[in-house]
Structure 1
Amino acid sequence: MTASFSSPAFLDNALHAVERQLQELSAALLGTDPLVLQACSERMRQVSVDFIAALEGLPVAAVTQGLQQRIQQIHTTLSVQRDSLARLAALADRQAAVLLPPAHPTPTYGVALGVQAASTGAARIYSAAG
Structure 2
Amino acid sequence: MMRSSPSFLEHALVAVEAQLQELSAALLAPDPFALQTCSEQMRQVAIDFVAALGGLQGQVLSEPLQRRIQQIHATLSIHRDSLARLAAVADRQAEVLLPPAESAPTYAPGLGFSAGVPGAARIYSAAG
TM over 0.5: yes
Aligned to 1:61: 59
Give TM-score scaled by structure 1 length: 0.84
How many residues are matched? 119
Instruction: Return the alpha-carbon distance in structure 1 between the equivalents of residues 14 and 108 of structure 2.
Output: 57
Higher CA-based Rg: 1
Aligned to 2:125: none
**1:22 Cα offset (Å):** 0.2
Unaligned stretches of 5+ residues in structure 1: 121-130
Q: Which consecutive aligned stretches of 4+ in structure 1 deviate over 6 angstroms post-superposition? A: none
Write the letter of the residue equivalent to 2:13: L
Answer yes or no: is the 8 Å Cα contact 2:23–2:38 preserved in 1.
yes
Amino-acid identity (%): 64
Q: What's the RMSD between the two structures over aligned residues? A: 1.9
Answer yes or no: is the 8 Å Cα contact 1:8–1:62 preserved in 2.
no
Answer yes or no: is the 8 Å Cα contact 2:5–2:56 preserved in 1.
yes
- SS of aligned partner of 1:61: coil
Instruction: Return the alpha-carbon distance in structure 2 between the equivalents of residues 20 and 96 of structure 1.
Output: 33
Write the letter of the residue equivalent to 2:94: A
Write the letter of the residue equivalent to 2:39: S
Unaligned stretches of 5+ residues in structure 2: 119-128
**1:100 Cα offset (Å):** 0.9
Deviates more, 1:51-60 or 1:5-14: 51-60
Q: CA 1:13 to 1:62, structure 2 compared with 1: closer, same or farther past 3 Å?
A: farther
